[in-house]
Structure 1
């Protein structure tokens, strides 16, 4: 379906799951890995490329993936960052078919203040979200275990956070099948 603005949001005729995360966290790579389509979501070496809402209707299913604008990109002008934030907030309001937002966190860096700010938005909006650690191939297994446990402890009191933290690597495909299975279960629940 591609990029759209708020005036052209698709109708709530499909179950939606969304992906959010800091710029350069690996959203496009993970979406491509999940769908087994290398070029569905355009990955870029330049942080902050996702500047609109991108909708991907999954063929032969009732599922739609939404790629939210990246946040936390320091080089973007402040007014552009504010526009992205407003766009995301407006999308989250009243989207009854949105079943979950997957909040991607770079496993090398863990939760940052900017991530906590977006979690506040999700909590205030009562939007269910789940933390997915990315790029786990870039750290050693004991570090993956530690960051997973630390992240789970950090979200335990957040009202809209799903309590289980997933860890993934798009490059090695670690955790991709597990995430795909969770998304499929959400889609079946409708």
Structure 2
């Protein structure tokens, strides 16, 4: 299938958007949680993992993408999730919710455990097609975000930056943030060139992100 980044004309773009819509109309269900590498489920379907700083809106994005308000738990305590959560999307794609990083109050040992678990997962998962790296549109890119990009690049895993919470930013600052992130993409060899701006509140960018992920799904 063709994703938006590969669409050459309006017809291909419309087709990609429709394939994304159809994929995310399918049932999406939680089926597994793993707290260590030796607990991972069998790798049968293509996988897309979502990662980002704690409180970046990862759970809200997952819920908005799938149209299921309670699929992923929206925690009021940043950094609470410490496991990999797996969701089956219509037996065609697995969505992996990775633990948040960068929570200031997390113990050093917890941060080191996160790096170890994530790196081992990223390096050793043959069905992992892409990591969706979420950045908050309202604030500058943090040191922990740069560390995550380096980790992804070192693991030789393609990652695509998605800006979240765009509804809470005025057009001028949002445009500057988009320009900054687009420039950032060029610094990392593992970064996908297409940056998608989203809002879980008003649906901005959801069709485009669905289309990109549908291009990675099993036929």
TM-score, reference length from structure 2: 0.83
Residue by residue over 1:113-166, the C-alpha shift from the partner in whole angstroms, topping out at 9 and shown as x without a partner, is 111111001111110001000000111122222111110111213110001111
CA contact (8 A) 2:46 2:217 kept: yes
Match for residue 112 of structure 1 among 142, 154, 167: 142
Name the counterpart of 2:180.
150
Does 1 or 2 have the higher relative contact order (CA < 8 Å, sep 6+)? 2
CA contact (8 A) 2:32 2:41 kept: no
Query: How many angstroms apart in 1 are the aligned matches of 2:163 and 2:32?
Result: 25
CA positional deviation for 1:110 = 2.8
CA contact (8 A) 1:144 1:167 kept: no
Query: How many angstroms apart in 2 are the aligned matches of 1:49 and 1:182?
Result: 29
Secondary structure of the structure 2 residue equivalent to 1:19: strand
Provide the aligned length of Structure 1 versus Structure 2: 188
Residues 1:172 and 2:202 aligned together:
yes
Once the two structures are superposed, the pairs formed by residues 121-132 of structure 1 within 5 Å of their partners are 121-132=151-162
Secondary structure of the structure 2 residue equivalent to 1:99: strand
Once the two structures are superposed, the pairs formed by residues 10-89 of structure 1 within 5 Å of their partners are 10-58=41-89, 60-89=90-119
CA contact (8 A) 1:102 1:132 kept: yes
TM-score, reference length from structure 1: 0.95
Residues 1:181 and 2:211 aligned together:
yes
Could you list the runs of 5+ residues in structure 1 that have no partner in the other structure? none
Q: Which entry has the higher C-alpha Rg, 1 or 2?
A: 2
The list of structure 1 runs, each at least 4 consecutive aligned residues, that deviate by more than 3 angstroms after superposition, is none
